[in-house]
Structure 1
Amino acid sequence: MKIKDIRASVHTTSIDVPLLAGKVRGYGREEQKEFVFCEVETDEGLTGVALTGHFLARSVVAALKHHFLPVVADMDPREVEAVHERVWRKLNPRAMTGVVSSALSVLDIALWDINGKHAGRSVASLLGGARTELPTYVTFGFPQYDRETLAAAARLQLEHGFRAMKLVVGVDKGGWREDAARVRVVRETVGDDVDIMIDANYLFTPADAKFLCRAIEDYGITWFEEPLHQNDARAMADLRAHTRIPIAAGQMEGHRWRLRELVERQAVDILQPNACYCGGFTEARKAAHLAQIYNLPVAHGGGWPLFNMHTLAGLMNGWILEWHVGMVQVGELLFPDAPHPVDGRIAIPDLPGLGLAVNRDALRETLVPEH
């Protein structure tokens, strides 16, 4: 079996944010307006699909068409290590990230989808089959909410069966004090038996992150995700040493060496490789094995749960899956038969590959024309 073609395109859509009037362009944060859909075809007719996010989406498509395809054409899609080795040698010998990592991610995910279809097994099974279902948490706490609406949104997610939820911090005009007040509102709303995570998306200085941690330590926070600018491993290690709140990071890192830095610097309690950004399942598996050596769990952040659930279900130290209100709507649009959490848990499809059937009409409707 040989790789015959790589097709990639840029798409955009709008989402409904619960309790907000009107649709929001994109799927969450302001810059999240576009995503990349990729499909890899083999000479035997098997195809695999994948998504990656909004970072320089048009450049990712160009890289796949003009650089990746000539390098991997006619390779065996089952030999994922050989594919990675050739991509690194031909396209990325200096271990850069960004566009090249996003392009490698969708190529690799599509190859695992093909391999699962060829073997008649799910990707989670090919990765190790550690479990058949996962706990989930909902990312619901958008910055557009005021405190009252934030509380109402938290109650809504409780009604949907979630017992773990995450809200965004680091973007409010009121600074860390307003973030602390919003965390307090959510804790008072959901009670003590619900996990609360917070995510700063790299946006705090070390000082402000410490101020926030001190203000909310008694609220039983499950983790503080990517608190500091640039995912500065040195500074996060210092923050971790000065707070009781566990630190999580890694979802936007582009390869295993950056993830290794977080682990070896003792900067994290929870590692978060995201297959849609770090180099696909092949690289995420290596990151998870690294974390396991250090007795660290692997949790999901950064969205695209319909792909990343296979990593967490397949590997021994996989933990909890993010159900991002915005990105989930993209998944529901493109893959309408995909699974959903029930009472906070999601079953992994017992289907070959990713177990996702593509809505071709939705692909056409969301397509961004090439300029």
Structure 2
Amino acid sequence: MKIKDIRASVHTTSIEVPLLEGRVAGYGRAEQKEFVFCEVETDEGLTGVAVTGHFLARSVVAALEHHFLPVVADLDPREVEAVHQRVWQKLNPRTMTGVVSSALSLLDIALWDIAGKHEGRPVASLLGGARTQLPVYVTFGFPQYDRDQLAEAARLQVAAGFTALKMVVGVDGGGWREDARRIRAVREAVGGDVDLMIDANYLFTPTEAKYLARAVEDCDLTWFEEPLHQNDARALADLREHTSIPLAAGQMEGHRWRLRELVERRAVDILQPNPCYCGGFTEARKAAHLAQIYNLPVAHGGGWPLFSMHTLAGMMNGWILEWHLGMGQVGLQLFPGSPVPEAGKISLSGRPGLGLDVDRGALRDTLVR
């Protein structure tokens, strides 16, 4: 079996967010407007699919179609190490990230989908098959909410069956003090038996992050995700020594060496490799094995749960899956009938590959180019 073609396209959509009137353009924050859909075809007619996010989306499409395809055409899609070796040698010998990592992620995910379909096994099973069901947390706390809406939205998600919630910090005009008030409002709204995570998306200075962590130490947070500019491993390690709140990071890192730095610097308590950004399942598996050696759990951040669920289900140290309200909705638009959370858990379908059926009408309706 050989790789025959790679097709990629840019899409956009809108989502419904509880308590906000009308539909929200994109799938989360203001910049999350576009995503990339990719399909890899083999000479035997098997195809694999993948999705990644908004970062330089048009450049990712160009990279796949004009640079990656000539390099990997005619390789066996099941021999993922050979594919990665060729890509590193020909396209990325200096270990850059960004566009090349996103493009490699799409290619690799699609190849695992093909391999699973060929073998008649789910990708999670090919990765190790540690479990078939995962705990789930919902990323519900969008910055568009005011404080009262945020508390009410949290109650709605608990009523819907979620026992773990994540909210965004670092973007409110009131600074870290308002973030602290918003965190307390959510904790008071849902009580002490619900896990609560906060995510700064790299937006704090080390000093600001320390101020916020100190202010909410008593809120029993499950983790503080990506608190610092540039995911600075040195500064994260320092922050970790100054707070009892566990730190999580890694979802946007583009390869195993950046993820290794987080682990070896003792910068995180939870590692978050996301196959949609780090180079696919092949790279995410290596990061998970690295974390396993250091007795660290692997959790999901960065969205696109219909893909990351296979990493967590496959690996021994896989833990909890993010159900991002925006990216969850996008996934169900493109792949109707996919697994959804129930009572705070999600079960894999057990179908071959990723187990996803593409809605071609949805692809056409969301197409940008």
Q: Does the residue aligned with 2:283 lie in a helix, a strand or coil?
A: helix
Q: Does the residue aligned with 2:152 lie in a helix, a strand or coil?
A: helix
Paired position in structure 2 for 1:225: 225
CA distance in 1, matches of 2:72, 2:147: 51
CA distance in 1, matches of 2:88, 2:18: 42
Counterpart check, 1:360 vs 2:349: no
Identical pairs, percent: 81
Report how many aligned residue pairs link the two structures.
Answer: 369
Alignment of 1:125-140 (within 5 A): 125-140=125-140
Alignment of 1:6-21 (within 5 A): 6-21=6-21
**TM-score, normalised by the number of residues in structure 2:** 1.00
Paired position in structure 2 for 1:46: 46
Alignment of 1:116-127 (within 5 A): 116-127=116-127
CA distance in 1, matches of 2:302, 2:328: 12
Counterpart check, 1:58 vs 2:58: yes
**TM-score, normalised by the number of residues in structure 1:** 0.99
CA distance in 1, matches of 2:233, 2:125: 33
CA distance in 2, matches of 1:18, 1:10: 26
CA distance in 2, matches of 1:18, 1:97: 35
CA distance in 1, matches of 2:184, 2:257: 37
Q: Which amino acid aligns with 1:244?
A: S
CA distance in 2, matches of 1:168, 1:342: 23
Q: Does the residue aligned with 1:196 lie in a helix, a strand or coil?
A: strand
Q: Does the residue aligned with 1:48 lie in a helix, a strand or coil?
A: strand
Paired position in structure 2 for 1:298: 298
Paired position in structure 1 for 2:84: 84
Alignment of 1:249-328 (within 5 A): 249-328=249-328
Paired position in structure 2 for 1:215: 215
Q: Does the residue aligned with 1:221 lie in a helix, a strand or coil?
A: coil
1:310-344 deviation digits (Å, cap 9, x = unpaired) = 00000000000000001111001001110101100
Counterpart check, 1:68 vs 2:68: yes
CA distance in 1, matches of 2:25, 2:255: 30
Q: Offset of 1:359 from its aligned partner?
A: 0.2
User: Which of 141-150 and 310-319 deviates more?
Assistant: 141-150
Q: Does the residue aligned with 1:166 lie in a helix, a strand or coil?
A: strand
CA distance in 2, matches of 1:141, 1:198: 9
Q: Which amino acid aligns with 1:52?
A: T
Q: Which amino acid aligns with 2:301?
A: G
CA distance in 2, matches of 1:48, 1:292: 29
CA distance in 2, matches of 1:175, 1:79: 49
Q: Offset of 1:23 from its aligned partner?
A: 1.4
Q: Offset of 1:49 from its aligned partner?
A: 0.2
Alignment of 1:186-225 (within 5 A): 186-225=186-225
Q: Which amino acid aligns with 1:113?
A: D
4+ residue stretches of structure 1 with deviation over 2 A? none
1:91-110 deviation digits (Å, cap 9, x = unpaired) = 00000000000000000000
What is the alpha-carbon root mean square deviation over aligned residues? Answer: 0.4
Q: Does the residue aligned with 2:216 lie in a helix, a strand or coil?
A: helix
Paired position in structure 2 for 1:336: 336
Q: Does the residue aligned with 1:350 lie in a helix, a strand or coil?
A: coil
CA distance in 1, matches of 2:191, 2:310: 31
CA distance in 2, matches of 1:7, 1:164: 37
Paired position in structure 1 for 2:106: 106
Structure 1 stretches lacking a partner, 5+ long: none
CA distance in 2, matches of 1:307, 1:32: 18
Q: Offset of 1:200 from its aligned partner?
A: 0.2
CA distance in 1, matches of 2:57, 2:50: 14
Paired position in structure 2 for 1:172: 172
Q: Offset of 1:147 from its aligned partner?
A: 1.0
Q: Which amino acid aligns with 2:74?
A: D
Q: Offset of 1:16 from its aligned partner?
A: 1.1
CA distance in 2, matches of 1:151, 1:88: 47
Q: Offset of 1:264 from its aligned partner?
A: 0.4
Q: Which amino acid aligns with 1:314?
A: G
Paired position in structure 2 for 1:34: 34
Q: Which amino acid aligns with 1:29?
A: R
CA distance in 2, matches of 1:208, 1:189: 25
Q: Offset of 1:159 from its aligned partner?
A: 1.1
